Amino acid sequence: MNLSIGELARRTGLSVKAVRFYSDRGIVPPTERSPAGYRRYGPEAVARLEFVRTLRDLGLDLASIQQVLEGTTSLPEVAAAHADALSAQIRVLRLRRAVLTAVARRGSTSEELEIVHRLANLSTTERQLLIDTFLDSVLSPAPSLAAVRGTMTPELPDDPSIEQVDAWVELAELTQDDDFRATVRALAERQVADNRGLRPDAIVLIRDQVAPALAAGLEPSSSAAERIMSAVGPVDAEYLAAAADPRWERYFVLLAVVNGWPAPESPGRALRWLLSGLMSTP
């Protein structure tokens, strides 16, 4: 028994207007027309419309649905293509959410919103260029430090978390700070010039030996501090000041978040304690 357009609408839960629309598009063509010219549909139209509604609920466009119904494209092929498209949309939406969350956390102004949005939406190539420019600027005086580039390079994943986007934006802003660049450049220069920097094992030595002194509340000018500084060896005060810069420490904290690395141990407080002792030594 053929169904009227109203009966078909009731059976499928669609409106008469929607059924007429699909019928006009040829997706559910009428089987016949009544003597009065009204459209009549066979019982298979119910299943066909329910199938169409399911695909529409999943976000498929009518052109793709027609291709499946006509047999020119298989359902798995269309599903795969739309799944890929949805994945791309989800990445974009997650990035937008991360940017808006970062702006909300920061209490950003409209000008800062533009900066955060621009930095977060840089392409992989643009992000790499920004970091390469920074590293070229600060490491060029010390070619022997080229091997450390990898340990200083952030790589934002394709599907970053809100925390990773927030960290990337802050890190990118930090690399554009001319004063910070000058500090890191001076650090690199002193590391390779006349052995005025710290020995490779010195940071660990400082952290291990200064930590108990800090815990005991010892002043940097105490005799214990002098013994620690003697064990560390001669240190250039300007180098130590650069190494103790909180921004330098912050760079590696942000780097770890962006790259998904474990949080780095912080030598900053110990370095600043040592610097204070060094400056107080006659």
- pLDDT tens digits, residue range 187-246? 888 777 655 556 656 667 777 888 888 888 888 877 777 777 777 766 667 777 888 889
Q: Which of 275, 186, 190, 265 is nearest to 225 (CA)?
A: 275
Q: Tokens 């490779």 map to which residue?
A: 200
Helix (H) or strand (E) holding 33: strand 32-33
User: Are 131 and 253 in the same domain?
Assistant: yes
User: Are 212 and 255 in the same domain?
Assistant: yes
User: Are 147 and 253 in the same domain?
Assistant: yes
Best-predicted range by mean pLDDT among 64-78, 143-157, 192-206?
Answer: 64-78
User: Are 109 and 33 in the same domain?
Assistant: no
User: Are 192 and 263 in the same domain?
Assistant: yes
Q: What is the pLDDT of residue 142?
A: 67
Q: What is the pLDDT of residue 256?
A: 95
- Round to whole Å and give the CA distance between 74 and 5: 28
User: Last residue of a domain, which of 65, 96, 114?
Assistant: 114
User: Are 154 and 252 in the same domain?
Assistant: yes
User: Are 129 and 237 in the same domain?
Assistant: yes
Q: What are phi and psi of 201, to 5 degrees?
A: -90, 0
Q: Quick check: helix, strand or coil at residue 131?
A: helix
User: Are 49 and 151 in the same domain?
Assistant: no
Please state the rounded mean pLDDT for residues 128-142: 88
**CATH code of the domain in which 54 resides:** 1.10.1660.10
User: Are 226 and 276 in the same domain?
Assistant: yes
Cα dihedral value 197, 201, 202, 206, nearest 10:
160
* pLDDT tens digits along 253-274: 999 999 999 988 777 788 888 7
User: Are 85 and 57 in the same domain?
Assistant: no
Q: What is the pLDDT of residue 91?
A: 80
Q: Report the alpha-carbon angle 237-240-242, nearest 5.
A: 110
User: Are 94 and 65 in the same domain?
Assistant: no
Please state the rounded mean pLDDT for residues 178-187: 91
User: Are 94 and 171 in the same domain?
Assistant: no
Contact call for residues 186 and 242 (beta carbons, < 8 A)? yes
Q: How many domains does the chain have?
A: 3
Which range of residues forms the domain containing residue 102?
76-114
* Separation in Å, CA 255 to CA 90, 183, 258: 25, 18, 5
User: Last residue of a domain, which of 96, 114, 132?
Assistant: 114
- Round to whole Å and give the CA distance between 21 and 242: 71
